[in-house]
Structure 1
Amino acid sequence: MSRVLTVPDAERVAATVVAGFRDVPDFPEPGVVFKDITPLLADASAFATVVAALAEVARATGATAVAGIEARGFMLAAPAAERAGLGFWPIRKAGKLPAPVHRRDYALEYGTAALELSAHTVGAGERVLVVDDVLATGGTARAACELLEEAGAEVVGLAVLLELGFLDGRPQLGQRPVLALHTEA
């Protein structure tokens, strides 16, 4: 059974997340509602609230590093890592890092993609918290976790601002602990 991740003052943090998202219909294609975090990032108080919550999750899990998934995960993971006194590991889209890299190919609902991590980043036994903005179908998050595990790290959890529960992405992550600061059912 996986451990449950929590944050102090969860209701206030969830309200901050909800207020910070903007729905953009039919982007990037018809029928998709894009979840824009720009309003949250532009509000210093809201941004500080979510960064503090993510840093607390990193400390509570005993993480030795925080990994962010390109691109919006970077905006959250890097300041959370700094606030928790930890290193930040960027998980990049394929072709953005010089060799040698660890690579994980995965399927998307509309094609395939790959994630990469610098081979110089991960030490065996590192404990890493993975951070992203949205958990939707779970494919990208699962690929990021598997990439880290294949490189020798232990994924201590996945933390996201928003989980789109109706897309059922959480089961894709197996027994890895997941924390969503807010869930849309």
Structure 2
Amino acid sequence: MTPMKTVKDYIRTIVDFPHEGILFRDVTTLFADPRGFRIAIDQMLHPYAGQPIDKVVGLEARGFILGGAIAHQLSVGFVPIRKKGKLPGAVISEHYQLEYGEAVVEIHDDAIQPGERVLLVDDLLATGGTAAAGIRLIERLGGEITGCAFIVDLPDLGGHKRLLDMGMEVHTLCAFEGL
């Protein structure tokens, strides 16, 4: 009997992408496999089973895939956090630092109501910059973050600790050492 595959087994590593020396953890192979995708969604949901959650927020872009599936399973609404200029209508913005430069993410200013309980999801937690910006947006709208769920943690880049230091509950399915 073949051993059961873990989420990590479905993720491929691409060497030197997008830059030399980077090991890119590609979750598209996980998404493409129906069993792998189901395992990932089920495991991301598991810690929050029975908890009251009003909305799932997904970070652009792979967080949309996960967030939509998780929101469907929970029978709650889904809210995207997008890169600047991608959302129609009134938005609030949050700037954050990248390795080289700055970026901006946005959310509709009416997407989350004060007191709504929110689960933040994305595919990968690296430095935590995008997730931290998303958390600040949700909190500015009055949302209460019940947790942050990711498939992959890159612990050497410090994002997990950064979110814990912000008082967040962080759940990841697997970790890859190094960059």
Decide: shared fold, TM above 0.5: yes
Distance 1:78 1:57 in 2: 18
In the alignment, structure 1 segments of 5+ residues that lack a partner are 1-11
Q: Contact between 1:64 and 1:126, CA under 8 Å: does it hold in 2?
A: yes
Q: Does 1:26 align with 2:13?
A: no
Instruction: Give matches, 1:1-185, under 5 Å.
Output: 16-173=6-163, 174-185=166-177
Distance 1:162 1:153 in 2: 25
Q: Over aligned residue pairs, what C-alpha RMSD do you find?
A: 1.4
Task: Give the % identical residues.
Answer: 40
How many corresponding residue pairs? 172
For normalisation by structure 1, the TM-score amounts to 0.87
How far 1:58 moved relative to its partner? 4.0
Q: Contact between 2:44 and 2:172, CA under 8 Å: does it hold in 1?
A: no
Q: Deviations over 1:126-173 (max 9, x none)?
A: 110000001011111111111111111111110000101111112221
Q: Contact between 1:17 and 1:162, CA under 8 Å: does it hold in 2?
A: no
In the alignment, structure 2 segments of 5+ residues that lack a partner are none
For normalisation by structure 2, the TM-score amounts to 0.90
Distance 1:94 1:60 in 2: 34
Q: Contact between 1:68 and 1:130, CA under 8 Å: does it hold in 2?
A: yes
* 1:90 counterpart SS class: strand
* 1:88 counterpart SS class: strand
